[in-house]
């Protein structure tokens, strides 16, 4: 289950960009995961919830956007989304294709609750 190590890496990224005093304000961590990244979204969400329990990040959500598999064809130049990784161009049936998306895993943003207004 590599989702646990990925969840730990996501936690480290949040800790890198959010100061300790603001970590309890983290509401949502948004991630883009390509169809070929090997990520099981439900497992990753479970692992993220498990490793943040008992920390200032407890209660924050992990939102995963799945990125489709896209190919660019060297024969016709078309860019296509494909459901199955057959690696043939659905436009011209060419086999000289390059994957242009669908393998990524990246943190898109971290949503924080608003800071309370200072009273004077």
CA–CA gap between residue 88 and residue 98 (Å, rounded): 10
The pLDDT assigned to 111 comes to 94
CA dihedral 50, 51, 57, 60 (to 10 degrees): -40
pTM of the model: 0.78
Ordered structural domains, the chain, with CATH? 3-69+101-112 (3.30.2320.50)
Over residues 89-117, the pLDDT tens digits come to 888 988 888 888 888 899 999 999 987 65
Complete edge-to-edge strand list for the sheet that includes strand 97-101:
79-82, 69-73, 97-101
């Amino acid at each position: 289950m590599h989702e646990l190590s990925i969840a730990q890496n996501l936690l480290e990224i949040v800790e890198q960009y959010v100061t300790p005093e603001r970590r309890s304000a983290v509401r949502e961590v948004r991630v883009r995961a390509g169809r070929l990244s090997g990520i099981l979204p439900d497992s990753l969400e479970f692992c993220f919830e498990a490793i943040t329990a008992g920390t200032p990040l407890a209660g924050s959500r992990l939102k995963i956007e799945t990125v489709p598999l896209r190919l660019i064809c060297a024969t016709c130049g078309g860019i296509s989304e494909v459901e199955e990784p057959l690696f043939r161009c659905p436009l011209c049936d060419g086999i000289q294709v390059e994957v242009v998306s669908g393998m990524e895993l990246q943190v898109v943003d971290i949503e924080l609750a608003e800071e309370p207004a200072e009273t004077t």
